[in-house]
Amino acid sequence: MATPEFLKLGARPASPVLTTAWFEFLLKPELLIKHLNDPHATPGPTQLIIQFLQQASAVETAAEQKKTELGEEANGLPKTDESTG
């Protein structure tokens, strides 16, 4: 049986595909422009918008949860564990 190329002594892995995290586009707007100008960019423009909206929703949900927890503690109420429902 032949040894796979990646296991051979001295073999180097193929260059990894560098991806940009969604928040990097917020930190460096020029990355967004460069990304959107690339016809083969992944994720594409539509998927990128979806990712932004999903993250915004996740942040909002986390903020609401934290606000609820802080409000319960401020009122002297014990934290509720909704998972034990």
Whole-number Å distance between alpha carbons of 76 and 82: 18
User: What pLDDT is attached to residue 21?
Assistant: 80
- pLDDT tens for each residue of 52-62: 899 888 888 99
- pLDDT tens for each residue of 63-77: 898 888 888 666 665
Does residue 3 surpass a pLDDT of 50? Answer: yes
Q: Helices (DSSP H) in 5-85: which residue ranges? A: 22-27, 29-37, 45-74
